[in-house]
Structure 1
Amino acid sequence: MIKLPSIALPKVEYTREFAFNDADFERIRKLIYREAGIALNPSKKDMVYGRLVRRIRELKLSSFAAYLDQLESASGRREFEQFVNALTTNLTFFFREEHHFPILSEHLKKKAQQGGELAIWCAAASTGEEPYSIAMTALESVPGARVSITATDLDTTVLETGRKGIYPADKIARLPAGHATRFFDKQGDGSYQAKAALRSMISFSRLNLIDSTWPLRKQYDAIFCRNVMIYFDRDTQLAVLKKFAPLLKPDGLLFVGHSENFYFAADLFKLRGKTVYELAANGAGRSA
């Protein structure tokens, strides 16, 4: 066997367009935790750079330090919305975690027999695919019933997308057979818009889950809060769960994400099925 000589490759130094050091990253971690409850892992430094660099270019600033100084200045409050929007994750698609929707369907059928309006809160609506999936399930399961869906999110940009209800063809292609033609109207540019009957069921508004109070004044038959609290530390998760409890009807259901487990809140919620919780006996009516 011929032994090839080793070649010393030159070390490549990658330089960033804007100065971004560990101190900048730590400031960002503290700010997003304070504003949104998001506990950024130290490994997310490159992701943070990629998401915020566009704001620095747009504002014509010279560095992340300059951006953070502006963000924390007296006039920086207006930029905070853009800052939070950039750092929140909005991965979603229609009927994500599909095992939840047959459970929701049976729950709504049972609740509809009691009469009255059925109320559902989607606490992380993102671009709207989740609340529209809930609405489609309701229309199929309890036709004729009065159903209202409260859709909230921290990110104002994605809320506007949800409010319009317009999606590209590749997202609509993931719908179950027949749903596209039944629930959406094809637009001239090839996109699809949710039909008016579907859109009228849902109200979109901004809500920050870590705010001390929420502008919600009724109880819900179901609450969806999926794949959000994985970004919170346990103290923040528990604080949110304590505020969920009084907003859920005594026989209501809480739907959470596939990697979320709230065993530490057993006095508030008990596991009913795969990532579906109900109020514990002593969890109902807890104050926020």
Structure 2
Amino acid sequence: MTTLPPVVLPKIDFNREFNFSDADFERVRKLIYQNAGIALNPTKKDMVYGRLVRRIRELKLSGFTPYLNLVESSAGRGEFEQFVNALTTNLTFFFREEHHFPLLASHLKQSGHNEISIWCAASSTGEEAYSIAITVLEALSGNTRPAISILATDLDTSVLETARRGIYAADKIARLPAGMAAKYFDKLADGQYQAKAQLRNMISFQRLNLIDNSWPIHKTFDAIFCRNVMIYFDRDTQARILKRFSPLLKADGLLFVGHSENFYFAADLFHLRGKTVYEHATHAPAKTIHG
């Protein structure tokens, strides 16, 4: 008598509104890596489900397979943007990793440049870019202040719109150093606060994907802030981005990175100056910068 092989049924989580198979998850991981450079950890399946299931409900689709089919189709370009927005993390607040801002102020005071340009390469909802702008104005006060421009970019279009408006709830504004809220923000009738025009006019918010083959950037910067985003990229992607940062940073420029990011593998490009701040590897060792 012939013994039939056991039947292997697909694993279904009956506690979920929609089935989210391992194949679906791998499809998501491949899409977000190829198009945004984000290397999703295999343990993030529940997180991915929670973020994408909202889109499935809103679009009134029957599950993940038709949703991912839409995302990958030519007709789904608009939804692809929503897909990326849903999977990007936007934790930020004013003066996050506060030790960087006195270092930036000290660097700008010492530079002596007639024009100051700074790139905030993962600006999220704008708190980091406005923190940079406040730091620049505080550091370079007076009639001889150089021309200042801040480029703030992000992959997520929804957070960029929030950043452009510059409107924040009172609890977010409460994180500002003493006296800064009244000086740089207007209180609105609904109790929220909006960045004053002086701050908003200093910053250009633009969508930019760090893994795109070309960037619409035609200047060099006194400082580049790319904090807490490279942790989502694998080593090869990090190396490619750092190589592209190098010619965009002025000879004496500084690269500010996140507290858990370490680029020792790019020692031919950048030298650690201290406190998660890097400078060009070919730049002569400078005096320690102090806040």
Q: Which amino acid aligns with 1:126?
A: S
Whole-Å separation in 1 of the counterparts to 2:168 and 2:74? 38
Give distance in 1, aligned partners of 2:186 and 2:56: 38
Match of 1:255 in 2: 256
Return the offset for 1:160.
0.5
1: CA distance between counterparts of 2:248 and 2:74? 36
In the TM superposition, 1:267-282 aligns within 5 A as 267-281=268-282
Question: Over residues 132-174 of structure 1, what are the superposed CA-to-partner deviations in whole Å (9 max), with x where a residue is unaligned?
Answer: 0000000100023321100000000000000000000000001
TM-score normalised per structure 2: 0.91
Specify every segment of 5 or more residues in structure 1 that has no aligned partner in the other structure, as ranges.
1-12, 283-288
CA drift at 1:43: 0.8
The answer to whether structure 1 residue 43 and structure 2 residue 47 are counterparts is no
Matched, 1:119 2:117: yes
Query: Which amino acid is the alignment partner of residue 119 of structure 2?
Result: W
What residue number does 1:188 align with? 189
Amino acid at match of 2:121: A
For 1:232, the equivalent position in structure 2 comes to 233
One-letter amino acid of the structure 2 residue matched with residue 191 of structure 1:
Q
Find the aligned partners of 1:273 and 1:91 in 2 and give their Cα distance. Answer: 24
Q: Is 237-246 or 69-78 further displaced after alignment?
A: 69-78
Provide the secondary structure at the position in 2 that maps to 1:75.
helix
Cross-structure match for 2:160:
159
Matches within 5 A, 1:6-17: 14-17=14-17
Equivalent residue, structure 2, for 1:221: 222
In the alignment, structure 1 residue 131 sits paired with structure 2 residue 129: yes
In the other structure, the counterpart of 1:197 is: 198
Aligned partner (choices 120, 137, 140) of residue 138 of structure 2: 140
- Say which structure, 1 or 2, has more relative contact order (CA 8 Å, 6+ apart): 2
1:279 partner letter? H
Match of 1:10 in 2: none
Distance 2:234 2:259 in 1: 17
- Cα offsets for 1:84-128 (capped at 9, x unmatched): 0000000000000000001000011112x23x2100000000000
Measure the CA separation in 2 of the matches of 1:183 and 1:77. 38
1:258 alignment partner AA: H
CA-to-aligned-CA distance 1:43-71 (integer Å, 9 cap, x gap)? 11010011011110111100101101111
State how 1:6-155 maps to structure 2 within 5 Å: 14-111=14-111, 113-114=112-113, 116-143=114-141, 144-155=145-156
Q: CA deviation at 1:219?
A: 0.2
**Residue identity opposite 1:60 in structure 2:** K
CA-to-aligned-CA distance 1:16-42 (integer Å, 9 cap, x gap)? 111211000000000000010000001
- The separation in 2 between residues aligned to 1:145 and 1:179, in whole angstroms, is 22
Q: Which amino acid aligns with 1:127?
A: T
Structure 2, unaligned runs of 5 or more: 1-12, 284-291
Q: Structure 1: how far apart are the matches of 2:161 and 2:119?
A: 17
Q: TM-score normalised to the size of structure 1?
A: 0.92
Which amino acid in 2 is paired with 1:173? Answer: A
How much does 1:14 deviate? 5.0
TM superposition shift of 1:74: 2.3
The residue that corresponds to 2:4 in the other structure is none
Paired-residue identity, % = 74
For 1:30 and 1:258, how far apart are their aligned partners in 2? 27
